[in-house]
Amino acid sequence: MEMKKNSSTLVNKNTITSIAIGGFDGMHVAHQELFKNLDENGAIVSIESGFANLTPKVYRQEYSSYPIYYYVLDNIKHLEGDQFIKLLNEEFPNLKKIVVGYDFCFGKNRRYCIEKLKELFHGNVKIIDEIKIDDIAVHSRVIREYLKDGEIEIANKLLGKEYKIYGHQIKGQGLGTKSFVPTINLKVEQFLLPKEGVYITKTILNEIEYNSVTFLGHRVTTDGSYAVETHILDENIINDTYTIQIKFIKKIRDNLKFDSFDELKNQIDKDIETTKNYFINVY
Ligand SMILES: Cc1cc2nc3c(=O)[nH]c(=O)nc-3n(C[C@H](O)[C@H](O)[C@H](O)COP(=O)(O)O)c2cc1C
Ligand SMILES: Nc1ncnc2c1ncn2[C@@H]1O[C@H](COP(=O)(O)OP(=O)(O)OP(=O)(O)O)[C@@H](O)[C@H]1O
């Protein structure tokens, strides 16, 4: 069967001797634990469901030095167990070891799981027990729920890093500089956005990381439209970069509707103070 592989991956598949298999959205702590069990000729086999929104496909390689090969779930989900293993052996002719988690299942109707994998693959099968942090099982779906609740600190713990999104600059209402504070307005695609509210963040422009405070949500006080806006602290940035990255650190408050621009301005000033104090105390 014709398989789509990551065109940016230049490693010859004949050299690969071990693989980790899964969805790998988030490249979280448990995923990293799987990767630790790969040898130096290891690779990541990423099965694309089309729903990844923590680390959408093109952003995933950043989080591992092992080459990632992508397979579209729809192209392989009809396979019987032996056909799936045959495919892996054909794709990676020198495959000696497969690393998966305790809940890994594959093939038609996910009918085949760990025992079948051990039976069908003639090599080393390494199973990773369920990884938990502070008694919370680490899974992409669990991390998504924490982000949707604005629980960034827990999400980041499970991710093993600060949750980061990519976006590009768009024009805002033009109100910020005039009435409030200057902000960079972003258009974000593919990434899950945390709950509406105000967050302590870091913003990366041209590979330089700045302390920042970010609002995301419907601008209920002004035009009501959905916005992602970041204010860089203590810097007068003329931003000419197309790609902007935002790392989320902590939620300060919910999105609020104010009766006047003055009240919103006061609150934004307080948010900036809160953020500055955070960076002074933590870094
Ligand atoms: C730190 C910060 C907090 C904000 N909080 C709110 C808020 O609680 N409610 C709201 O409607 N808009 C909030 N905003 C968005 C402002 O309404 C927005 O910056 C203003 O409309 C200017 O938009 P513009 O950059 O498109 O001109 C906030 C903006 C910042 C930078
Ligand atoms: N907490 C965990 N402990 C051990 N292995 C895990 C854990 N989470 C995922 N894995 C393993 O990592 C690989 C990638 O799986 P997958 O991307 O589906 O993980 P997930 O985070 O559980 O995703 P989802 O929440 O969407 O099910 C699989 O082999 C899976 O068994």
Give the tens place of pLDDT for each residue, 22-59: 999 999 999 999 999 999 999 999 999 999 999 999 99
Ligand 2 geometric centre to CA of 250 (Å): 25
Task: Evaluate if residue 7 carries a pLDDT over 90.
Answer: no
Across 121-125, 232-236, 240-244, the highest mean pLDDT is recorded for 121-125
Q: Which pLDDT does position 180 carry in this prediction?
A: 81
Residue 1 has pLDDT above 50, yes or no: no
CA of 71 to the centre of ligand 2 (A): 16
- Top pLDDT among 9 and 274 is at 274
Atom 21, ligand 1: residue with shortest CA distance: 222
The enclosing H or E element of 184 equals: strand 184-187
Residue 143 burial (CB < 10 Å; 0-12/13-18/19+)? buried
Question: Domains in the chain, start-ordered, CATH in brackets?
Answer: 13-131 (3.40.50.620), 162-282 (2.40.30.30)
* 245 pLDDT higher than 80: yes
Q: Looking at residue 177, what is its pLDDT?
A: 67
Indicate which residue's Cα is closest to atom 13 of ligand 2: 22
> pTM, whole model, 2 decimals?
0.94
Share of the chain above pLDDT 70, in %: 95
Q: Which ligand is nearest to the CA of 31?
A: 2
